Amino acid sequence: RPVRIEQSWAQLGVAAVVWDAAVVLCTYLETGSVDLRDRAVIELGAGTGLLGIVAALLGKGCVLACFRPQRNGRALPCRLGARVTITDRAAALALLESNVRANLPPELQPRAAVQELTWGQDLGRFPPGAFDFILGSDIVYLEETFADLLQTLEHLCAEHTVILLSCRIRYERDLGFLEMLRGRFSVREVHYDPSKDVHIYQAQRGGRKDEI
């Protein structure tokens, strides 16, 4: 089935656009480098929800069809993917829920929960260490959110948890966040897409580099 994502710049601004970083991370997941089958995944700052939707649809070896609305998009095979919690601020939830309903078949919709999460706030609603993967695309750009984002990552992570962040390094402050991240986690770059100038970083506690 095709993946068709509704966008709403006029209503929500940057939170309601499919950015290149999301497309690059989706493509990276599609290559099979990461096995998401039946894993517990949380997406932070989900925006349109594309990344979380793809995680729910992808089992290792699936072929990703299309990312943006297309009249003649190829079908995306439906196989068992991740158990996904797709999060963002309250204002973005209606668009998120609409995209999830539109793109996940009924049998997979119970595996994708849309929840409000403002970084650094009410983190007790999310069990620490409950997730195998934390995904984020283009969420590193506002310096005033860096401390709250780092606190959220620390709360959600267990020793086995793998963080995958895709981003374009636009400003010096973005590199500053990576240094903050390296102060708490083992961080390495696992992919770079030169055509879109997007980096994917993997982070884990305790210097572990588990097979993912």
Alpha-carbon gap, residue 86 to 67, rounded angstroms: 17
DSSP-derived secondary structure letter, 125: G
Domain membership of residue 7 (yes or no) is no
Alpha-carbon gap, residue 199 to 126, rounded angstroms: 28
Alpha-carbon gap, residue 76 to 69, rounded angstroms: 13
Identify the residue with better confidence: 156 or 59.
156
Predicted pLDDT at 45? 93
At 187, give phi and psi (nearest 5°).
-125, 135
3-state DSSP assignment of residue 193: strand
In tens, the pLDDT along 17-27 reads: 787 999 999 99
Domain membership of residue 212 (yes or no) is no
Domain membership of residue 47 (yes or no) is yes
Domain membership of residue 163 (yes or no) is yes
Cβ-based neighbours of 44, under 8 Å, separated by 6 or more: 87, 117, 119, 134, 135, 136, 139, 149, 152
Q: Tokens standing for 35?
A: 């096995």
CA distances from 204 to 86, 154, 165, 208 (A): 20, 10, 12, 6
In tens, the pLDDT along 111-151 reads: 999 999 999 999 999 999 999 999 999 999 889 999 999 99
Domain membership of residue 13 (yes or no) is no
Domain membership of residue 128 (yes or no) is yes
The enclosing domain of 45 has a CATH number of 3.40.50.150
The arrangement of strands across the sheet holding 40-43 comes to: 112-116, 83-88, 40-43, 133-137, 162-167, 198-204, 186-193
Domain membership of residue 46 (yes or no) is yes
Number of domains composing the chain: 1
Domain membership of residue 210 (yes or no) is no
Residue closest to 41 by CA, chosen among 52, 29, 28: 52
Residue 162 belongs to domain spanning: 20-65+78-205
Q: What percent of the chain has pLDDT over 90?
A: 61
